Chain A
Amino acid sequence: MIERPADDDPSLTAATPEANPAATAPAANPAATAPISRRQVLKLGAAALPCLLGSTALFDWMTALAAEPSAPVDPIVASYDPTAHSWAFVVDTRSCIGCGQCVVACKQENGVPLDEEHTRTWVERHAIARDGSVSVESPAAGMYGFPPAPVLAGATEHATQATQFVPRLCMQCENSPCTAVCPVGATFRTQDGVILVDEQRCIGCGYCVVACPYGARYIVPAGARTPTGVAGVADKCTFCYHRITRGREPACVEICPVGARKFGDLTDPASEVSTILREQPTRVLRPELGTKPRVHYVGLLGEEIR
């Protein structure tokens, strides 16, 4: 390496003005050349902008066409006031019998795909061994119930102490990771505490799917059954928002034969969920994450349910 003279600055910025007077020419003589170029630049920009916007709009329209649009029912009725409600959900694991009717009802009500991975709600069976370890299974998302004897890994080594059915759904967190990470604001929380997805705005990046600590989200696959008629967007339990805004219960709550799923309004102190939350010990899943779920569990066994 040789030594450079002190005035020989390697930086292009510093070396230029002396060595290259032409580079400063536009500043020195702007009147001679600048108007033409500015006009050309403006012309180019004026021509390019509509083309760009037009092509993007066209492409979006075409992709929307390809996604088999349907006419989903407007979930918010005119008479519904979201500020007057604060919805909550209580699951009583002591009552749940694992029949799976809630899963069937949900898929039927919302047009959810029938496979086990793309589901808004599912039922798990937790087998708790004497050493505290928990084995979890959910065959076909619990849609068809469970086999009578749990065939669990390690069940023979560690005698099963207890089993329970744990219905799962979106927790509608008050401090929700999914709404925080969505890059385009497509998933949002309504004033009554339900988290929804705008299927016209979702880009299908899957960030909310990996960010949800409860695995409650999925990307809608193309096919006959698409909850909102749009494939390739995120979907999740909405507490059957189209029903609750019309004064009805979610489909899973309505169908549950043993009343293990309870739904109600926290602004009404006399509602069943308010009473349970006030009078009984309840738990939420993964409280250490600070997500503040709106789905509470009664009678949950085990130290840690993930």
Chain B
Amino acid sequence: MIVRVAGRAIVADPRLAWRAARVEAMNTPRGLKAWLAVLSVLVFIGAIGAVRSIFPGDKGTATTPTFEWGLLIAGYVFFAVTTSGLCLASSLGTVFGIERFRPLEKRHAILAVLCLVTAFGVIALDLHYPVRMVLGAAFNPSPTSPMWWMGVFYGIYLCFLLVEVWSMFWGHPRIHGMACVLASAMAIIAPTTLGAVFAVVSARPYWAGAFTPLLMLATAFVSGTALLGVVFGMVDRLHLTGFERAGALAIPAIRSLLTLAIVIVACLVARDVAVGLASTDPGLSAATRALVVGPLAVPFVGVRVVIGLVLPMALLVMPFTRTALGLFGAGCLTIVGVFADRLTFVSAGQIAPLTATSGVVSAPYAAYTPSLVEISILVGAAALIALVYTLAERYLDLRESDVHVGFALPVSLGAWWRGRSVPAGSAPAAEPLDSEPVVVEPAASRADPEPPPVAAEDPAQTFESSPAGPVTTEMSYVDEPDQDELPSEAPPEEPLSSGSLPGGEP
């Protein structure tokens, strides 16, 4: 059986597919294989934790009624809010059209979808009855609850993100433009609402208050920018797709953004600590003391402030670390700091106990140590994001372009859609797949290894859409020589079409 996809005949034969997979595996560089193997093991460990945690009432978590929200909630907040930060940072390119942020376009969208889906997965594992949540939120809406609004907004956000990715890769610029604007708007609304989930809890003075949504938004900005810094540091380091533009435009842009974001967050954190220490509210002052000198001092002062704010700032501003590698390091440290921030934020709200049912002489602080199940779920979730993103980096076309090419695997769906879009006369509607690929000028020009200054001038062409537009663009990426993203040892990729397979015909 021969499936015609994107003008190519692909033989749908399991043996050939297996052979193609083997060829692909042999052509994969050893370092990449090791990296994927490590990530797969971590994902497997996370899957074990996930299976352990699906039993209602017996989830294997270490939370108690005194400390009901633990590591999984912190992880959910981390992933969900990072999603928004990715969109906030890249919206400067996608929405406002600032040139130097254009390289962020595709990578941010893939990361955002991955982070948000992972966040949903983590929160589903934290809930005892996740299915009821979906049904209950739909059929028993509770508009007084910020959590309900958060679910609504993040659900809508995911839809917009999916439309954004789809329109980007299948080439629907009009839809893509609208999706970018809407997704960026949701990137502000959603984390603000997530902050409101905590901010309305007047029983927990450390969470309550008008500054919590603001802090959530600011930390969203910093975490998303830091993640982009990590990714683009690697893009530059490993000479992945589009590294010339990344080095010339994206990395300086991300560095400026990250510096700004860290300054904003540092101001807000300083305000939090100052107000908390000076407060007469017992719950607030106890929580802040726990952060500064109490049991949370190491994660807060050591990790959140020093590792998460001071060191990245130093890396960003010192002249000899103003490199791609310096940005990579700053991004990693900032992400660690943001995660510590999520953990200390969730913990500090509950650390001043409300009751004395812990059974001992009234302890000044409630205690919580995450269980292995919780840790494994979060490690697996992070590894899953890294794993899928690595595969996306290897197999998807991540060149920035207004004229996007299709996914490798589900291309038939894209071709179907493109077939609809073909004006009458330009291609037969019945066989849209046979239409000839049109060479996309901007993409081809960007593939040239020009020096950065020249590449910086290139974008003038970038925004000129091809005359043929996205309509008949095909999987041309398999023919591009620069697709092999890993360093010099990486051999050229083998396209998974019948032409490249030995014995391609049955």
A and B from one complex: yes
Q: Which residues of A contact B (CB under 8 A)?
A: 1-2, 4-5, 8-17, 19-26, 28-29, 32-34, 37, 56, 59-60, 63, 66-67, 116-119, 122, 124, 135-141, 151-153, 168, 177, 179-186, 201-207, 209-215, 217-223, 226, 230-233, 289, 304, 306
Interface residues of B in 145-179 (CB under 8 A from A): 145-148, 151, 172-174, 176-178
Q: Could you say which of A136, A221, A304 contacts B356, with CB atoms under 8 Å apart?
A: A136
Give Cα distance in the complex from A177 to B201, angstroms.
8
CB atoms of A63 and B465 under 8 A apart: no
Give chain B's interface secondary structure class: loop
Contacts of A24 in B (CB 8 A): 174
B58 near A117 (CB under 8 angstroms)?
no
Enumerate 6 A-B pairs (CB-CB under 8 Å) in ascending A order. Answer: A8-B464, A117-B357, A183-B151, A204-B56, A209-B65, A213-B354
Interface residues of B in 175-224 (CB under 8 A from A): 176-178, 180, 197, 200-204
Question: Nearest residue in B to A226 (C-beta to C-beta)?
Answer: B57
Residues A60 and B468 in contact, CB atoms below 8 Å apart: no
Q: A210 — which chain B residues lie within 8 A by C-beta?
A: 68-69, 201, 203-204, 349-350
Contact status of A203 and B58, CB under 8 A, knowing A181-B201, A215-B354:
no
Q: From the candidates B173, B180, B353, B358, name the one contacting A20 in the complex (CB within 8 A).
A: B173
CB distance from B327 to the nearest CB of A (A): 19
Q: Quick check: A221 and B361 within 8 Å, CB to CB?
A: no
**B277 CB → nearest A CB, Å:** 19
Asked if B203 and A289 sit within 8 Å, CB to CB, the answer is yes
Point out the residue from B59, B177, B456 that lies within 8 Å of A1, measured CB to CB. Answer: B456
B129 sits at the interface (CB 8 A): yes
Asked if A116 and B359 sit within 8 Å, CB to CB, the answer is yes
Chain B residues within 8 Å of A306, by CB: 282, 354
Q: Quick check: A137 and B356 within 8 Å, CB to CB?
A: yes
Given A63-B56, A122-B355, A218-B65; A23-B471 close (CB under 8 Å): yes
Q: Given known contacts A2-B460, A12-B176, A219-B65, is B470 in contact with A20 (CB within 8 Å)?
A: yes
A15 touches B463 (CB 8 A): yes
Which residues from chain B sit less than 8 Å from chain A, CB to CB?
55-59, 63-66, 68-69, 97-100, 102, 126-137, 140-142, 144-148, 151, 172-174, 176-178, 180, 197, 200-204, 282, 349-350, 353-362, 402, 416, 419-424, 426, 429, 456-457, 459-460, 463-472
Q: What residues on B are CB-neighbors of A56 within 8 Å?
A: 131, 134-135
Q: Is the CB of B355 within 8 A of A214?
A: yes
Quick one: given A204-B127, A210-B204, are A184 and B133 in contact (CB under 8 Å)? yes
Given contacts A22-B470, A24-B174, A63-B129, 19 further A-B contacts (CB under 8 A): A2-B457, A4-B463, A12-B176, A13-B174, A14-B177, A26-B421, A29-B424, A33-B420, A33-B429, A56-B135, A139-B359, A177-B201, A185-B142, A211-B200, A212-B203, A218-B65, A221-B57, A232-B55, A233-B129
- B59's nearest neighbour on chain A, judged by CB, is A232
Contact of A15 among B135, B173, B423, B472 (CB under 8 A): B173
A3 to chain B, nearest CB (A): 8
Q: Are A203 and B203 in contact (CB under 8 A)?
A: no
List the A side residues contacting B465 at CB < 8 Å.
15-16, 19-20
Chain A to chain B: the 9 pairs with minimum beta-carbon distance, closest first: A231-B57, A204-B128, A20-B469, A232-B56, A184-B136, A232-B128, A10-B97, A13-B177, A222-B57
**Cβ-closest chain B residue relative to A151:** B361
Q: Are A138 and B56 in contact (CB under 8 A)?
A: no
A226 to B58, CA, bound (A): 12
How far apart sit A1 and B2, CA to CA, in the bound complex (Å)?
48
Distance in angstroms from A303 CB to nearest chain B CB is 12
- CB-CB under 8 A for A22 and B201, given A119-B357, A124-B356, A202-B129: no
B169 CB to closest chain A CB (Å) equals 13
**Whole-angstrom distance between the alpha carbons of A222 and B53 in the complex?**
12
CA distance A152 to B460 in the complex (A): 74
User: Which residues does chain A contribute within 8 Å of B100, judged by CB atoms?
Assistant: 1
Is the CB–CB distance between A211 and B201 below 8 Å? yes
Contacts of A202 in B (CB 8 A): 128-129, 132
Q: When the two chains form their complex, are residues A141 and B359 in contact, meaning their CB atoms are under 8 A apart?
A: yes
CB-based contact B423/A21 at 8 Å:
yes
Q: Contacts A180-B145, A201-B132 given: A22-B469 contact, CB under 8 Å?
A: yes
With A203-B132, A231-B58 as known contacts, state yes or no: A183 contacts B147, CB within 8 Å. Answer: yes
Could you tell me if A135 and B361 are in contact, using CB atoms closer than 8 angstroms? yes
A269 to chain B, nearest CB (A): 33
Asked if B355 and A213 make an inter-chain contact with CB atoms under 8 angstroms apart, the answer reads no
Among candidates A10, A182, A215, residue contacting B353 with C-beta atoms closer than 8 Å = A215
Cα distance, A26 to B420, chains bound together (Å) = 7
Q: Report the minimal beta-carbon distance from A140 to chain B, rounded to whole angstroms.
A: 6
CB closest chain-B residue, reference A33: B420
Distance A231 CA – B488 CA, assembled complex (angstroms)? 56
Could you tell me the distance between the alpha carbons of A24 and B465 in the complex, rounded to whole angstroms? 14
Q: How far is the CB of B20 from chain A (nearest CB, A)?
A: 29
Chain A residues with CB under 8 A of B178: 13
Nearest Cβ in chain B — how far from A304, in angstroms?
A: 8
On chain B, the residues within 8 Å of A203 by CB distance are: 127-130, 132-133, 136
A184 touches B140 (CB 8 A): yes
Contact of A21 with B354 at beta-carbon distance under 8 Å, contacts A137-B361, A201-B136, A203-B133 already known: no
* Given A181-B147, A210-B201, A210-B350; A141-B357 close (CB under 8 Å): yes
Bound together, the chains give a CA A276 to CA B138 distance in angstroms of 45
CB atoms of A22 and B421 under 8 A apart = yes
In contact, B97 and A231 (Cβ under 8 angstroms): no
Query: In the assembled complex, how far is the CB of residue A112 from the closest CB belonging to chain B, in whole angstroms?
Result: 12
The CA of A21 and the CA of B422, in the complex, are separated in Å by 9
Contact at A13–B173, with CB atoms within 8 Å?
A: yes
Nearest CB to that of A56 among chain B residues? Answer: B131
The answer to whether A9 and B356 have CB atoms under 8 Å apart is no
